[in-house]
Every structure is written in structure tokens, then in C-alpha cells.
Structure 1
Amino acid sequence: MGAIQKLKGILTNHSETRENHTEESLRSRYYKTTNKNAMKALQELFNKMEGVTVKSVSEEHGEIALQVNKGRKAFVIVTVISVRPFETAVDFSVTTETKLPFDFGYSRQLIKQMYERIDKSMIYIGSGLNSGKK
């Protein structure tokens, strides 16, 4: 990742993961589970996290909305997509609520921390597995 991309990542208040992200740690992560089980496991995980409130859950859309109140405030959308039986992708979109138009990389760090916790609760398969497929 180049210096300009790092600077852009720091000088924003929004970060999200995607399949072919230039930064390896912000690529979509895949877990060996079904969509339904992933949604259940994630809800349990987020309900146990200190300073995190589950605002809404849409099982039919595979989305969980979170409010982070510990430390800096942030709004998080977690998207769960079933790719194949027992292969489910988890993506994040995080917007930090700051007075400044940037959060010095907090939204990126929050995504990384949440992925680390999810990796401990579900079987991790890999990141960006379908980035080369069309």
C-alpha cells in the first residue's frame, strides 16, 4: 500500500471492507458456517461486547446495525452474505462520529478489532477469496 493510500485512510471518517481492497486486513473475510448461524453468532458476539449496542437486525438482508459508544462513537453496518453452503462472507462499513472530517484511522482499527473477535468465534477460511473471479 502506497503512502498516498495510507494518508487517505487516515484522513477520512469512513472505512469499509470489500473483496479486492488494497489493504489485506480490510478484505472481505470468509467463515465456514451458514448465513443463519453466522447471523446468530455475530448477534451474540456484539451483544457481549462492552460499549456496543445492536440497533437493528435484518436477517432477510443479512445486515446488523451497531452503535459503538466506547471510546470514539461510531456507526457500524455488518453485512453477512452466504456465498456457498458453509461459506459465508462478513463485511463492515464503519462511520466515525467526529467533529473533524477524519478520525486518524480509528474506523479502520475498529474493523480490524472486530474481525479479530469474529475469528475467535467462527472458523476463518480466508480473505478476499473471490477477488479474482468474475
Structure 2
Amino acid sequence: MSLRQTVAKYFTNHAETRERHDDPALVSHYYKTTKDKAMAKLEEMFSDQQLYDLNAISKEHGEISVYTKKGRKVFIIVTVIMVRPFQTAIDFSVTSESALPFDFGHSNKIIQQLYAQIDQHFTPLDRN
């Protein structure tokens, strides 16, 4: 990452993952599971934690939207895509809501924390 990209990471209120990203922590993660199992586990994961409030679930589109209840207000969209049988990609789009137009990297930290939680439930695959 260049110096400009590093600085920009801290002075924005939005972060999202994608297939090819300049920041290695924000590259899409793949797991050895099906779309339905991933959706069910993510729904369970968000509903079990007091921090999150499920907003909407679209199993047909593979999307879950979530708000945080405590601390900084954050809106999260989780996208689950089954690439091949038993190879599922999970992507995040996280936006922080605050009076300032930036969150000092809070959105990035949330994505990394969520991926760490998902890694405990599913087997991560190489990004080929």
C-alpha cells in the first residue's frame, strides 16, 4: 500500500472487501462451506451477540444487513456468494456513522474482527 492509501484508510468512514484490494486485510475471504450453511451461521452469529441488531436478511441474494447497538453506530452489509461447490466467498461493506466524516480505521478493524470470528466456524481456503 502506498502512503496515500494508508492515510486514506484512516480518513474515511467506509471500508469494504473485494477480490483484489490494495490492503491485504480487506481481500475477500473464501471458506469451505455452502452458501446456506454460511448464511445460517452468520445469522446465528449476529443474533447471539448483544452488540448487533439484524436489520434484514435476503437468502436469495445472499445478503445480511446489520446495525450495531452499542458504541459507535456502524452499518454492516455481509454478502455471501458460493463460487463453487463448498467454496464460498464472504464480503463485508462497513460504514461508520458519526459527526466526523472519518472513523480513524474503525471500519477496517470491524471487518478484521468479523473475519476472525468466521474463521473459528469455517475452514478458510486459499485465495486462488
TM-score by length of 1: 0.92
Between the aligned partners of 1:126 and 1:13, the Cα distance in structure 2 is 29
Counterpart mapping for 1:1-134 below 5 A: 1-127=1-127, 129=128
Cα deviation 1:80-131 (Å, max 9, x = unaligned):
000000000000000000111000000010000000000001111134x3xx
Between the aligned partners of 1:43 and 1:126, the Cα distance in structure 2 is 24
Alignment partner of 1:100: what SS?
coil
1:132 is matched with none
Between the aligned partners of 1:4 and 1:49, the Cα distance in structure 2 is 36
Alignment partner of 1:79: what SS?
strand
Residue 69 of structure 1: how far off its partner (Å): 2.2
Residue 50 of structure 1: how far off its partner (Å): 2.5
Matched residue type, 1:80: V
Alignment partner of 1:121: what SS?
coil
Where do 5+ consecutive residues of structure 1 fail to align? Answer: 130-134
Name the count of aligned residue pairs. 128
Residue 46 of structure 1: how far off its partner (Å): 1.1
Between the aligned partners of 1:83 and 1:56, the Cα distance in structure 2 is 23
**Structure 1 runs of 4+ off > 3 angstroms?**
none
Supply the RMSD in Å over aligned alpha carbons: 0.9
Alignment partner of 2:12: what SS?
coil
Between the aligned partners of 2:22 and 2:126, the Cα distance in structure 1 is 16
Between the aligned partners of 1:56 and 1:116, the Cα distance in structure 2 is 23
Cα deviation 1:4-63 (Å, max 9, x = unaligned):
101101100000000000111100000000111110011111111221011110000000
